[in-house]
Structure 1
Amino acid sequence: MLLEREPELAVLEKAVLEVQAGEGAVLLVGGPAGAGSTALLRELAAASTRLGARVLRAGGAQIEQGFPLGVVRQLVLPLLSAEDPAPVPPVARALLDPLTGGRAPVVGEDQALAETAGVLHGLHTLFVGLAAQRPVVVLVDDLHWVDEPSLRALAFLAGRLAGTRVLIAAVLQDGAGGSDPLIEEIVAGARCHLRVAPLSADATARLVAREFGPDHAPRFATACHEVTSGSPKELRTLLDRALSHRVTGKAADCERIRELGTAFRRERVQFLLRRAPGVAAFAKALVVLGGDAELELVLRLGEVDAAGRAAALSALGDRWLTVSGDRVAVRDPSLNRVVEELLDARESSALHRKAAGLLDEGGYPPEAVAAQLLQVDVIHAGWEVERLRAAAQAARRRAAPSPAGRYLRRALLDLPPDSGERARLLVELAAAELDVDPGSGVRHLAQAAPLLPTVRERATVATWIPLPVAGEGPLVAELVREVAGRLGPAEELSGHEREVALRLEARVWFSGLGEPARLAAAARRLAELRDHPHGPTAGERELRVVLLMAATLGSSTTADVVAAQARRLLAHDPTNTYGALASLQTLPAVLMAADAVDAGWSWLDAAYDNACRHSNPTPQALVGAQRGLLLLGCGRLVEARAEAVRAFDLVDRSWPDAVLLPSVVLGLVAFALRDRPLAARVLDSAPPGDLRLFEIRRSLRGALAAQRGDLPMALAQFLDSGRRLDRAGWYNPAMHSWRTWAAVLSHRMGRQDDAVRLAEDNYERALHWGAPTTLGRALRIRASVHPDRDRALELLREADEVLRTSVDRFEQAKALIKLGEVLRDVDRDESERVLARGRRLAEQCGAHWLGAEADGLFAAQPGSAVSPVIRSELTRGEATVAGLAARGLTNTDIADELGTSRRAVEKHLTSAYRKLRIDGRADLAAALGADPENG
């Protein structure tokens, strides 16, 4: 008994009974392949025989479609050649005699048509004559594979069954024969349409239970249903295969049954494609086009005619394909893998090349055409290269540089190495790569330049080299200098060539940022540039930015001149172009050095808005790093830390030149905060090779060594940094404050002459530069190392006065705290007022630890083991020392913990005893209200 087929069987039996009553008809049985349509046909044959009807069987086959009247012969020949012949009407026998092969075949078109007409009438006469004795049931399987003359005969009969006792039952799979007019005629004349549905999950479980017993896992039956989609034929085969592989039907076998099902489906479709060339051509075309394409395009690519279309849709059906309107898609990915195995390299390349042509002819987007050309073996110059270029341009317009680079690299692969077309493609490839991989972009620009025919073209290409990499490597530096020299100075040029010359000059200056003579000349060159009433051009802006950086590094001008120039530049510098990257890399540092950070906020905010529209997060990271730098310049340490960390985490690590800036800013923040974890990230992760980062690394290592109490190592780190910076001509103390820390360390180590010399040198340089923050810091350091208290007090008061005009609240806090400490032995009331102001500023900056020492270099690390209990009458430094003493640490241990001197610890403890009104260390724990063991 067939499962879940009771309604269908009832319909079949009813049809036979109606035919017995003289109601001839056509019955169509439909459904997906493997759903059991043929099994129903067998049941119909059995039911017809039980009810006394004569059953005639035939079936179509793809390989027999070229055999005329093959299906008709299957129906008729058993009757005509039987030893005990049925009562075949003599007229029918005479008309059907050509089918028996008893006469020589006729020749001539008219004779053939006459003979075919005779066969049709003979067939009708035969069935009517037989039906006069008892009902006749004609069963035809796979109607879509029936040869055309037989289809014509069946269509002829289907229209003449009224009043006869003839039932024609045919199986037509879903989606098959839809474009054949004869099949459409038969379908239109059918009185009964019966569609076989797939088995339900419950029916599948019942069949599984027959094979694996009632104890099988429900999940296993569910997996079987999912794999076969309810197809009885596939389920039967799958269960047989499972038994042969010793699958037991348990839950643990679910994955195994899925693997068997996948393998079985692949075998079926492999067999189908090898057996049916037309279906294989259709499948290959569909897979080459991407598995989702216009049906008409698939047919054209595979050169599939209407019959092949019907065959392919019928054979692959719902199992493998999804047809929606005029589009067809691959439903099961296994089809892709099978087709790819059938396609050899030569055929695959030919199909992809043909597909590219059809897509281009049909007006498809360039990237759809290029996707096909990427799969061919060799790209030919001309149309194919142009299509890949067009696709790259389209990809760049949609802000997708990676696909653009892929198209151009494929176009370059087969071009001659010295062709002009290769040079243009290299330039376009570099333009796409500069957004995501500047190193590769610059390398391709350097390769393209010598191939370009004119100096102007080579010079234009050289201006595409980003400023940060203009001096990296002799190949790039030499290219820039060579084309700049050939083009000539900007003052002698005009229009486009003048702009190119200015931008080349900017790159030459940038590559010389490590040459003292060049830095010394930057201010003079900056003064030579004329101001235009409508603002500087793009090339002038780029050159001015680099010259400002050079003049600032070398301190060849003053802070007020740099600040004024920077403000004018920012007023005209756009924030939404690639050229703005040069300003992002340099101007914020210049503004910070010149105490002009207020000028940068609105410009950076606009730059950030534009960066957020970019698909690559790196522009956001660059802007964020510079925002962190300006926040640091204002003394807003907590906010600076957040911005710096975010930028460092966000930047694309595959872009080393972009990683540099966030690393530098994170290092500066770590140094200002004495943040060991941040320092470790910079030391471990930041890229080497840049002088700025070299200084940051040395400063961080020096600070860490000082916190460990290794003052000689700390001093060596700062002095080593200073020697390298001086050799490069980087003299500005606003940019590099190594002398500040070297002076303090020398003083702590008792090297008074060295300390004073370094502090005075630092002060003279700060005085020349003129920025309040730098000058105030220099005055504080002079006071810190000066042996005379009165003179130190004068210097600190001057520092306080100078820093009142600075936006750097952190530097103000350090100066006030140092001033308050020196005032303690002169005017205690004023000392407390000054210290209170300093501590408030330190709290606002996020420097809660500031106060243990005025310079902060040896202060307790935030988040370290030092957690003092604060009493309002104690300074932060006194509270820190008192808390450690209350926990039982000796003066030497405390000095080692804080990286300070034993004498400083004794001074802090003596002051704490006096303020807390206690006699000594034994009373500290009670006075602080702390547990001596836990602090």
Structure 2
Amino acid sequence: MLIDRGHALHSLREILQECVNGRGHFVMASGGLASGKTALMQEFQDVALDAGALVLSAAGARAETHARHGVLSQLCRSAALPGHLRELVESGLGGERSDSEAENDSRARELCDALLETSRAQPVVIAVDDVQFADPATLQTLLRLRRRIRSSRVVLLFTEWTCPANPRSRLLTEYTQQPHCRIVLRQLSERGTAELLAQELGDAATPELVARCSDLSGGNPLLIKGFVEDVRTGPPHRHGPVGSGVLGVAYRRAVRDCLHRWDRALSDVAEGVAVLGSSADPKRVAQLLDVTPECVGQSLNVLEMAGLARGCSFRHPEISAAVLEGLPPGVRGHLHAKAAELLYESGAETLEITRHIVSADQLPGPWAVPILRQAARKAATEEEVELTVKGLELALRDCEERDQLFFRTELVEVAWRVNPLAAVRHLPALRQAMAEGRLGQRDLLSLIRHLLWQGDTEGAAEPVAALLESVGTGDTRLVAQLSMCYELVHGVPYDHPDRSTVLAGNRKPPFTPSWSRATATRSQNARNELMHSAERILQGQISDTVPEASALAILIMDREGHSRRAQYWFETLMAEAVRQGAVTWQALLGTVSAHMALRRGDMATAAARAEVALGLLHAQSWGVLIGFPLSVLVLAHTAMGNHERAGKELERAVPDAMATTVSGLQYLRAGGHYHLATGRPFAAIEEFERCGALAREGRMDIPGLIPWRSDLAQAHLQLGQPKKARALATEQLELPAAARDAWVRGISLRLVAAGSPPAERVPRLQDAIQSLEHCGDRLELARALADLGQTHQALDELDQARLVARRADQEAKACSAEVAGTAQAHRPPSERPRREPAADAVQGEGMVALSEAERKVAALAAFGHTNREIGRKLYITVSTVEQHLTRAYRKLNVNRRTDLPTELAAHQEAA
């Protein structure tokens, strides 16, 4: 069945019927590349055979254009040919040119007479496909027949290409000037495409699949069939089903088959367009192929009529890929090299030129070296960074020896942005260059960063010394960034023995925001200087600041209580990292954001962000810093009760060098909490004690980083050893860090209280709650509230216990975490308030009637805050709080805090 060709076939049926009734016709069907001309002719031949007609068919071919009577011989060799006509063929119709013209004319006349005589007995249909390739002798003979068929039962059906630019022969022009019927075939409409897909695929031909096929094929039946074959044979030969966006080999083969059906010039132009890509225009394609723009324009018209192209570009990248696949590698490389040179001479973008240099896999000339240098600095997306890495590797392979060091250092820096592991193989050469004194300061810093990233602290010692020595006459800002890179990995800034000598003189020491040093003192000036230094680091030029320094500066801000400022800088730098395609930078900043969420107690967000960050790089590419996202994942999933998932994260292979880094200690600590949550306190104690030993050994015993004492205290509490727990928590509380770090103070006070008799717990827990509210860690706050609720219960203060436990429950839900001792644990089923529907209606009306002040007070009371705490938070007197609560109780029809509606908690969340 022909699709979208019903009108044409109907016209041919009518012509055949007129032929049967004694009226002959000459029909010319024309169409573009792969437009279905041959299919229409074959369908008509079947119809004619069913009607009892004698059908003679032939096809013109470019290679047989000059074969005398070649097409006519095909017609006369038909198996259905009557015997007397066959005798004419055998008597030498296709004779050599040595025969006289008179003899050939006589034989042609005899053949025509014989065909006309035969048509009296049965209709005769003569079909010639691609008549533009028919030899002149055949055309002359059939022209003689055409002039005599009008009153006979003969149909001549010819097909030809639609290509206005191709000149016709005089004979063919005479044919086409006045056909009895002209049929023009165009590509299938979207409706025709839908019909063909429904016929081939049935119910699988969804509207979405039809729209995609129509867009990809342009209605070209050959491309549609390739598309259908890929759908049938999916899942595909590549990455996914055709319908979901990936095309298979059948479609690509159909593209190449389309081009091979036409002349060689068409394939050449298609190859030129594919090679030039987005830079293609008729003039450039002509220059690339050494042809005229007119020739290119003609071929582009054919491609557009065939549904392959729009203007000077292909309809879909897969078409371009199919064309390029058909090119031998040597030819393709030559064309890309020539394209690069053409674009260079016309002043095109460096990245576009680089694409062709990389595709050519060769340096087209000396001019390519500066182009690759410029491209490396201009790369702004992940794709462009990967492209420039390939370009730099190519330059490193083919450039002169004097340029190799530059390309290697540039390659290491650019490669880090997408895959730090790709830079590792270049580090030995950089270390050799350092030994020879050929590395500059920034190159030395780059080398140190990569060695630290891989955990090679010993290997970094020599380049660190070289950098510090060169700073005597250079930029001390580099030393600041060196210290921050070192601190991110090892928890403390780098302290070289000769650092004071190196930085002596009239210059001031570099501003190095060392969070570890600031936490070791109670000085407010140190804290202010810390924030000032972090801000200066972040406000500098992004291109002049290494990402590790920026990441540490954001963490410093967050840990010092400036969470909004930290979030602002995170969003600013992440947007820039995304714009530049710096995947490694995105992964590092994403991990920082996950840690910030963890410190807020937002476990679900922390886990989600850590998972995204972890997925941006291969595990090996993370180096020793992989412990940062992994520790967040383990701690978050453990807190949420997802112990199986946390255990799987702990089964990952991690580098041995990570053990002596901050990320390694955080990962070790996370494992201890997993053991604690799964009922293995002895395993937890082993992990926490090891964590503490490594922290002290590596000068990383900083509670704000690794609070191993309070972790160990929790394990001893689980074993029923409150005295040991209290001693450890007290030791941590007495460290200088606890005096200025609300988070450390809060968790330490909670555990000191847990190891104390019930009568001594309440004031310590209230102090802990105040500190944890200040630092914003809602998970630790929920735990402290739960402990306070249990303490009130132990002291038989049941109403207060329920109020506090209720607030603990709200905080735990906000964290998506499991916290022992929340409201449901303290409220027996018999004591849970039961509201009648009418009471709910009254409360709903009361909620509307509350003033804003009453709503705020009632919301805080619903969370379990005391009147004094509410007054302090809202800056009102206790008496005013009591008045607001009294009016709120009356309007809500409740008698006590525990009956306050839960909707008030939602109001407090929104506030």
User: Which among 558, 562, 566 is matched to residue 522 of structure 2?
Assistant: 558
Q: Which residue of 1 aligns with 2:764?
A: 796
1:400 maps to amino acid: E
Matches of 1:846 and 1:667 in 2, distance apart? 18
User: Which among 597, 605, 625 is matched to residue 643 of structure 1?
Assistant: 605
Is residue 2:182 matched to residue 1:194?
Answer: yes
1:407 maps to amino acid: K
State the shift of 1:839 in Å: 3.7
State the shift of 1:626 in Å: 4.0
State the shift of 1:551 in Å: 1.4
Question: SS in structure 2 opposite 1:558?
Answer: coil
C-alpha deviations, 1:727-769, integer Å up to 9, x for none? Answer: 0112333332222343565578687986676455434324775
Matches of 2:733 and 2:62 in 1, distance apart? 98
Matches of 1:477 and 1:33 in 2, distance apart? 72
Q: Which residue of 2 aligns with 1:434?
A: 416
State the shift of 1:676 in Å: 3.6
Check whether the contact 1:144–1:177 (CA below 8 A) recurs between aligned residues: no
Q: Which residue of 2 aligns with 1:568?
A: 532
User: Which among 153, 165, 178 is matched to residue 165 of structure 2?
Assistant: 178
Check whether the contact 1:401–1:436 (CA below 8 A) recurs between aligned residues: no
Sort the Cα spacing of 1:604 and 1:16 in 2 relative to 1 into closer, same or farther, 3 A.
same
State the shift of 1:582 in Å: 2.9
Check whether the contact 1:352–1:372 (CA below 8 A) recurs between aligned residues: yes
Q: How does 1:16-95 map to 2 (within 5 A)?
A: 28-31=28-31, 32-35=36-39, 61-63=61-63, 65=65
Is residue 2:132 matched to residue 1:144?
Answer: yes
Matches of 1:302 and 1:311 in 2, distance apart? 14
TM-score for the superposition, normalised by structure 1? 0.58
Check whether the contact 2:769–2:784 (CA below 8 A) recurs between aligned residues: no
Q: Which residue of 2 aligns with 1:95?
A: none
C-alpha deviations, 1:192-218, integer Å up to 9, x for none? Answer: 5522759999xx9xxxxxxxxxxx999
Matches of 1:301 and 1:813 in 2, distance apart? 71
Sort the Cα spacing of 1:822 and 1:219 in 2 relative to 1 into closer, same or farther, 3 A.
closer
Is residue 2:380 matched to residue 1:397?
Answer: yes
Q: How does 1:96-245 map to 2 (within 5 A)?
A: 101=98, 142-145=130-133, 171=158, 173-176=160-163, 178-180=165-167, 189-190=177-178, 192=180, 194-195=182-183
User: Which among 427, 431, 440 is matched to residue 458 of structure 1?
Assistant: 440
Matches of 1:186 and 1:677 in 2, distance apart? 83
1:664 maps to amino acid: S
State the shift of 1:477 in Å: 1.4
User: Which among 673, 677, 686 is matched to residue 716 of structure 1?
Assistant: 686
Question: SS in structure 2 opposite 1:544?
Answer: coil
TM-score for the superposition, normalised by structure 2? 0.60
Matches of 1:707 and 1:330 in 2, distance apart? 54
Is residue 2:456 matched to residue 1:473?
Answer: yes
C-alpha deviations, 1:459-500, integer Å up to 9, x for none? Answer: 2233446958636325861464154045233xx44xxx4444
Q: Which residue of 2 aligns with 1:870?
A: 827
State the shift of 1:724 in Å: 0.9
Question: SS in structure 2 opposite 1:643?
Answer: helix
Sort the Cα spacing of 1:431 and 1:761 in 2 relative to 1 into closer, same or farther, 3 A.
same
1:870 maps to amino acid: R
Sort the Cα spacing of 1:149 and 1:647 in 2 relative to 1 into closer, same or farther, 3 A.
same
Check whether the contact 2:489–2:662 (CA below 8 A) recurs between aligned residues: no
Question: SS in structure 1 opposite 2:443?
Answer: helix
Matches of 1:138 and 1:809 in 2, distance apart? 89
Matches of 2:365 and 2:790 in 1, distance apart? 79
Is residue 2:650 matched to residue 1:683?
Answer: yes
CA RMSD of aligned residues (A): 7.2
Q: Which residue of 1 aligns with 2:631?
A: 664
Q: Which residue of 1 aligns with 2:864?
A: none
Sort the Cα spacing of 1:797 and 1:283 in 2 relative to 1 into closer, same or farther, 3 A.
closer
Check whether the contact 2:492–2:516 (CA below 8 A) recurs between aligned residues: no
State the shift of 1:561 in Å: 4.0
Q: Which residue of 2 aligns with 1:807?
A: 775
User: Which among 846, 850, 853 is matched to residue 812 of structure 2?
Assistant: 846
State the shift of 1:525 in Å: 9.4
Q: How does 1:281-680 map to 2 (within 5 A)?
A: 322=308, 324-325=310-311, 336=322, 340=325, 344-357=328-341, 370-376=354-360, 378-380=362-364, 382-384=366-368, 396-398=379-381, 400-405=383-388, 407-408=390-391, 411-412=394-395, 414-415=397-398, 419-441=401-423, 444=426, 447=429, 458-464=440-446, 470=452, 472-473=455-456, 477-478=460-461, 480-489=463-472, 492-493=473-474, 497-500=475-478, 502-504=480-482, 506-507=484-485, 513=491, 544-545=512-513, 548-552=514-518, 555=520, 557-558=521-522, 560-574=524-538, 577=542, 579=545, 581-583=547-549, 585-591=551-557, 594=560, 597=563, 600-604=566-570, 606-607=572-573, 623=589, 625-627=591-593, 629-630=595-596, 632-633=598-599, 636-637=600-601, 639=602, 641-651=603-613, 652-654=616-618, 655-656=621-622, 659-669=626-636, 676=643, 679-680=646-647
- Percent sequence identity is 17
C-alpha deviations, 1:580-636, integer Å up to 9, x for none? Answer: 733553245445654555653444454566567675777666556545544554xx5
Unaligned runs of 5+ residues in structure 1 are 51-55, 76-81, 86-98, 104-117, 205-215, 236-254, 256-261, 532-539, 851-859, 876-935
Question: SS in structure 1 opposite 2:705?
Answer: coil
Question: SS in structure 1 opposite 2:629?
Answer: helix
Is residue 2:28 matched to residue 1:8?
Answer: no
Sort the Cα spacing of 1:66 and 1:574 in 2 relative to 1 into closer, same or farther, 3 A.
farther
Question: SS in structure 2 opposite 1:173?
Answer: strand
State the shift of 1:775 in Å: 3.9
Sort the Cα spacing of 1:364 and 1:181 in 2 relative to 1 into closer, same or farther, 3 A.
farther
Matches of 2:643 and 2:575 in 1, distance apart? 32
Check whether the contact 1:434–1:441 (CA below 8 A) recurs between aligned residues: yes
Matches of 2:773 and 2:527 in 1, distance apart? 15
Matches of 1:678 and 1:74 in 2, distance apart? 74
Question: SS in structure 1 opposite 2:744?
Answer: helix
- The number of residue pairs the alignment matches comes to 746
Check whether the contact 2:666–2:706 (CA below 8 A) recurs between aligned residues: no
State the shift of 1:723 in Å: 0.9
Question: SS in structure 2 opposite 1:397?
Answer: coil
Sort the Cα spacing of 1:40 and 1:313 in 2 relative to 1 into closer, same or farther, 3 A.
farther
Matches of 1:801 and 1:377 in 2, distance apart? 65
State the shift of 1:718 in Å: 2.0
Sort the Cα spacing of 1:589 and 1:362 in 2 relative to 1 into closer, same or farther, 3 A.
closer
State the shift of 1:725 in Å: 0.7
Sort the Cα spacing of 1:317 and 1:68 in 2 relative to 1 into closer, same or farther, 3 A.
farther
Q: Which residue of 2 aligns with 1:89?
A: none
Once structures 1 and 2 are overlaid, which stretch shifts more, 699-708 or 452-461?
452-461
State the shift of 1:646 in Å: 1.4
Check whether the contact 2:266–2:299 (CA below 8 A) recurs between aligned residues: yes
C-alpha deviations, 1:800-830, integer Å up to 9, x for none? Answer: 69849943566667667767877889xx68x
Check whether the contact 2:27–2:182 (CA below 8 A) recurs between aligned residues: yes
Matches of 1:300 and 1:270 in 2, distance apart? 26
Question: SS in structure 1 opposite 2:182?
Answer: strand
Sort the Cα spacing of 1:619 and 1:16 in 2 relative to 1 into closer, same or farther, 3 A.
same
Check whether the contact 1:274–1:280 (CA below 8 A) recurs between aligned residues: no
State the shift of 1:721 in Å: 1.4
| Higher-Rg member (1/2) | 1
Sort the Cα spacing of 1:301 and 1:35 in 2 relative to 1 into closer, same or farther, 3 A.
farther
Matches of 2:187 and 2:489 in 1, distance apart? 76
Matches of 1:816 and 1:316 in 2, distance apart? 74
